[in-house]
Amino acid sequence: MSDTGLLRGKVVIVTGAGKGIGAAAARLCASEGANLVLAGTTLQSLEVVAQEIRRAGGRAECFRVDVSDADATSAMVVFCLEHFGQLDGAFNNAGIDGPLAPTADYPEADFDRVMDVNVKGVWNCMRFQIPAMLASGGGAIVNCASSLSEVGQYNMAAYCASKAAVLGLTRTAGLEYGPRGIRVNALSPGVTETSMMKDQMAIVEGLRDSLLQAEPIGRLAQPEEIAQPVAWLLSDRSSYAVGANFVVDGGYLVK
Ligand SMILES: NC(=O)c1ccc[n+]([C@@H]2O[C@H](COP(=O)([O-])OP(=O)(O)OC[C@H]3O[C@@H](n4cnc5c(N)ncnc54)[C@H](O)[C@@H]3O)[C@@H](O)[C@H]2O)c1
């Protein structure tokens, strides 16, 4: 099963693991030797990923969670400890983009939902993962932000605000828990070909072309390319990375 054994013996939770970046990260972490809890809103899609991991010789258990729900998120960590006895790593990846609308017209209910999932969801994950990691002797947390955590984007006020807030949560937790053996970092992917982006590209005419034009590397990312830094950040090889934002965006932000 193990590729390089980067995560051999570690127990890792991935939220939003049923598809897209989360599924790619879960597959890679398993191939690097981690035991996985795959968490997300749809058990069926989580099970598909878990079956692939088990067929390849890995261990994966599935847990249904809405990360905006504190009780359910706490139960996810308890489930992990019951199955694997420890928690060493977490990729807090679950997120939504929300509808597209100018700032003044953004629907309030959608604004609240984006914040609940993307910001409160990350905080919920961390506040239950951190005590479990302290009990296991330390760990590593990777929170999924976005290249849009650093810049604005038309019609995406809630999403941009939520991802900037993920950096605030990450920096603060990095400061607080780095000295206690838990490294908290953020990963900021650029435009990645997942259903989140494909859905937007299907709605907004010309979006794909304009996104491609904005990418110095001349193409969009594949989820597997975003998974690589996740595995590294969860591993002991990133031992000096604390509270940082790792941008993996094909050069979008430096253009
Ligand atoms: N695709 C991109 O271009 C891109 C770019 C930058 C950042 N991101 C971020 O990467 C992460 C993954 O995005 P993706 O593109 O793979 O999206 P996706 O829509 O393909 O997958 C998101 C996953 O999160 C799960 N999820 C959604 N709400 C949830 C909730 N409340 N509780 C638990 N699980 C929930 C979904 O079920 C799904 O499995 C998100 O945080 C997203 O904001 C994506």
Query: 3-class secondary structure for 142-207?
Result: EEECCHHHCCCCCCEHHHHHHHHHHHHHHHHHHHHHHHHCEEEEEEEECCECCHHHHHHHHHCCCH
* Start-to-end C-alpha separation, the chain: 39
> Domain of 111: which CATH number?
3.40.50.720
The verdict on residue 253 lying in a domain is no
The verdict on residue 203 lying in a domain is no
Q: What is the pTM of this model?
A: 0.98
- 3 confidence band (pLDDT: 50, 70, 90): confident
Query: What 3-state DSSP class applies to 31?
Result: helix
Q: What is the pLDDT of residues 127-149, one digit of tens each?
A: 999 999 999 899 999 999 999 99
Nearest CA to ligand 1 atom 1: 192
The verdict on residue 200 lying in a domain is no
The CB of 68 under 6 Å from ligand 1? The reply is yes
**Residue 159 among the catalytic residues:** yes
Number of domains in the chain: 1
The verdict on residue 22 lying in a domain is yes
The verdict on residue 122 lying in a domain is yes
CA distance 170 to 209: 33
Among 106, 154, 159, 177, the one annotated catalytic: 159
What residue ranges in 42-87 does DSSP mark as E strands?
A: 60-64
Helix count (H) and strand count (E) of the chain? 9, 7
Show the domain range for 134.
11-195+223-247
The verdict on residue 1 lying in a domain is no
Percent of the chain with pLDDT over 70: 99
